[in-house]
Amino acid sequence: MSDPLFWNQLLARRDAIAALPGCDSDIRAVLADQLMAVVEPYDRHFDPADDFEAYVAVSLCRAIATALGGGR
């Protein structure tokens, strides 16, 4: 079964990212921080065999944060 707390967290991060100012010089760092706010509490939380969609969402957030220079 899907984890509603995870999906609410992802939605909250989406809202925060959508509200970011487009011209801010630190936008990459802030965006990476928002993405890592999803990754950190859910890293290794989802098994791809049991909840593939959530696993992919966390993996995508990590990959984008890393590409922005903020992933660990």
**What is the value of pTM for the model shown?**
0.74
Task: Report whether pLDDT(1) > 60.
Answer: no
The per-residue b/e assignment along 6-42, b for 16 or more CB within 10 angstroms, e otherwise, is beeebeebeeeeeeeeeeeeeeeebbbebbbbbbeeb
Lowest mean pLDDT segment, chosen from 16-25, 43-52, 54-63: 16-25
Task: Report whether pLDDT(28) > 80.
Answer: yes
Task: Report whether pLDDT(41) > 90.
Answer: yes
Structure confidence at residue 57 (pLDDT): 92
